[in-house]
Amino acid sequence: MQTEVKGFMTGQPVSIEAESSALEALDLMIDHAIRHLPVVGPDRRLRGILSFDDLRAALPTPLSLRIPLAVEERWRVADITVGEVMTYAPVTIRHDAPLQEAATRMIEGRFGCLPVVDEDGRLDGILSETDLLHALATVLWAEHERSAPAPQTETLLRDLEREQDHLVQQLTHYEHLEQERTATRREIPLDLAEQGQGAEEGYLTEQLAELASRRLRAIEHALERAREGRRETCERCGGRISPRRIRALPGSTLCIRCSREAEAVR
């Protein structure tokens, strides 16, 4: 994300010289549909800025940015030069300055644009309100793209980690049961019926433990893939695995289509 002035300024802007007539400046603004003209001297050093509002305030006739001045009005303003009506030594910005600095200067000074100059004061570009709006739109869209999928992934990871914790506890519990049973068997001789019941319980616990540890391995694998940014990538086709599928089967490494194909082969 480019957030320096140069990423959004207009380079090589149309400019004018202080000795030119204000009328010429007006025609340039109309031709290029712009409201500001940087005023440069020799070597393109910035001397001032001329805005359409400056012209409107200074010229003794109503002006429009859409319609050139009528012929009968032109002679009345022909003698006025740019230097007479421009703003001298305007506030400027460097092309490598952060965009927010430019925005702050424009807001505080109520400027419609900022001329961009190099270290020697030569005109580099111009940054207008429209350019700032463009920058804002770009930043907001980038933020939107970044934040939209994030909560989904985070929620999923949190759910998986919670289940992981739960499974670890469960497995520990099964282990304890198994240890207790072994210990009890050693201490108290059981009758045959009790032994049978114990064996059955033991078998069930074993099955549950096996299921839990299989699920735990799947979740660990899914978490590992998620942390490497591969959670949503199908291992076979490189396509996307839907979050819903991952939630239902956290160990999923294949997209729905590939897993159907794999099952069909089996």
Query: Which positions touch Zn ion (CB under 5 A)?
Result: 234, 236-237, 239, 255, 258
Structure tokens at 94: 């460097």
Q: In angstroms, give the least distance from the CB of 145 to Zn ion.
A: 24
Q: In angstroms, give the least distance from the CB of 238 to Zn ion.
A: 7
Our CB check for Zn ion shows the closer of 138 and 259 to be: 259
Our CB check for Zn ion shows the closer of 115 and 250 to be: 250
Q: In angstroms, give the least distance from the CB of 264 to Zn ion.
A: 13
Q: How many CA atoms lie within 13 A of 211 on its CB side?
A: 7
Our CB check for Zn ion shows the closer of 226 and 258 to be: 258
Q: In angstroms, give the least distance from the CB of 235 to Zn ion.
A: 8
Owner of token pair 């980038």: 142
Burial class (CB in 10 A: 0-12, 13-18, 19+), 99: buried
Burial class (CB in 10 A: 0-12, 13-18, 19+), 153: middle
Q: In angstroms, give the least distance from the CB of 252 to Zn ion.
A: 10
Our CB check for Zn ion shows the closer of 156 and 255 to be: 255
Our CB check for Zn ion shows the closer of 151 and 229 to be: 229
Enumerate residues 6+ apart whose C-beta is below 8 A from 90: 46, 48, 49, 111, 114, 115
Length of the chain: 266
Q: Residue 220 is inside which H or E element, if any?
A: helix 192-227
Q: Position 70: which residue type?
A: A
